[in-house]
Structure formats: structure tokens, C-alpha cells
Amino acid sequence: MDNYEMIEKLMEKADVTYEEAKGVLESVKWNLLDALIALEKEGKIKTPEPASYTTKQTINEEAETIRKNKNLETFGGVVKSIFTWIKNVIVKGMNNSLCIVDEKKQKFISIPLTIFALFLAVAFWLVVVLLVIEFFSGCSFVIDGPDLGTDKVNEFMEKIRFKSGKTDSFDDFNDRK
């Protein structure tokens, strides 16, 4: 490589003028590597940011999202995600129950929500008639469980009651648990 090519190469790598490149190369006896080091020491070349590499295995959230999306691209992945969702709904339904409580706020019947939904699907009109009878007999309904047994759900259930007379709150039921 002749001197002109070395100057051109240094100008390309270091982003310096022709005169600066020629002067640095002459001062280091036309050694390109030494010229780059000299320019770096003068601050005319940006030093690379420190990089690190680790073998520690961590799950990158973006990589996990990409992996999940790739699973949804195939028919099998879509079917698997649907069955996973159905399984989660069934488990939540089995963990939470519809409780029928009497006027003394004691549990009369406790039915898991999944079983209740199956009864609704199989014998809808029978379930509706039984619910109406329960409403008029003075009983009330409370959702109990870790996922759906919240105050908001039970307040809504209390609003739609057909019971006439006293309207005890579901808090009485929670106190008797």
C-alpha cells in the first residue's frame, strides 16, 4: 500500500482531513495502526462503547413475545392457545362458586361456576325457573372465590335481586364465613 492509499484509508476510518492524516502518518513512520491509536489519544476518533457478554441465561421479554407470536402463526399454535384459554376459564370457574344463602346469610348451596354454566347450557329454562324461585323465596346469591368474589361483583348481584323487604348486604355473608 503506497502512502496515498494509507492517507485515504486513514481519512475514511478516522474522519480527518488530508493534512491531518498525512501529518499523523508521517509522525508514526507510516504505520496505519499507530496512526489510528495516535488519533484516538488526541480525541479525534470516538472510542467504541464498552461491550460485555454474559452466559447467564435470562428471558428477554421481546424474544418471548416473538416466540409466542410465532406459535400463533401455525394452526397448531392457535389451537393450543385456544385450549389454554379454555383450560384457564374452567379452572377459574372451579375455584369460584355461586352460593345461594338463606335469610340468615348462611350458605344453603354452593355450586362451582363451571358446573353452573354447564347446567345453563343443558337445561337453561329449568335453571331460570329455579333461580326465580330462589329469588322469591327470600334467598340471595353471592359469588364466592379468589378470582370473582369481589365486592363489585356481589354489589351487582345485590342490585339485581328481586327480594322484597329487608336488603342485607353481602358483607353479612362475608362476616359469617
Residues 35 and 97 in one domain: no
Residues 17 and 96 in one domain: no
pLDDT of residue 53: 65
d(CA 67, CA 71): 6
> Over the chain, what is the mean pLDDT?
76
What is the pLDDT confidence band of residue 176, given thresholds at 50, 70 and 90? very low
pLDDT of residue 17: 87
Q: Identify the domain containing residue 151 by its residue range.
A: 89-176
Residues 30 and 103 in one domain: no
Q: Is residue 119 part of a domain?
A: yes
Q: Is residue 79 part of a domain?
A: no
Count of domains observed in the chain: 2
Question: When comparing pLDDT for 170 and 100, which is higher?
Answer: 100
Q: Is residue 164 part of a domain?
A: yes
Residues 38 and 95 in one domain: no
pLDDT of residue 72: 60
pLDDT at residue 105 above 80? no
Q: For the chain, what percentages of helix, strand and coil (3-state, to nearest 5) are there?
A: 60, 10, 30
pLDDT of residue 55: 61
Q: Is residue 23 part of a domain?
A: yes
d(CA 83, CA 95): 18
**Phi-psi map region of 15: left, alpha, beta (phi>0 left; psi -120 to 50 alpha):** left
Q: Is residue 102 part of a domain?
A: yes
Q: Is residue 72 part of a domain?
A: no
pLDDT of residue 71: 59
pLDDT at residue 88 above 80? yes
pLDDT of residue 59: 54
Q: Could you say which DSSP state residue 30 is in? A: T
pLDDT of residue 163: 46
Q: Is residue 133 part of a domain?
A: yes
pLDDT of residue 61: 62
Long-range contact pairs involving 113-117 (C-beta distance under 8 Å, separation at least 24): 113/143, 113/145, 113/148, 114/90, 117/93
Residues 168 and 95 in one domain: yes
pLDDT digits (tens, 9 = 90+) for 3-56: 888 888 888 888 788 888 889 889 999 888 888 888 888 877 766 667 666 665
pLDDT at residue 97 above 60? yes
Q: Is residue 36 part of a domain?
A: yes
pLDDT digits (tens, 9 = 90+) for 135-172: 777 777 777 888 765 677 677 767 766 444 444 444 55
pLDDT of residue 167: 46
Residues 38 and 109 in one domain: no
Residues 172 and 95 in one domain: yes
Widest CA span in the chain: 105
d(CA 52, CA 48): 12
Residues 100 and 171 in one domain: yes
Residues 102 and 159 in one domain: yes
Residue 100 backbone dihedrals phi, psi, to 5 degrees: -100, 120
Residues 165 and 108 in one domain: yes
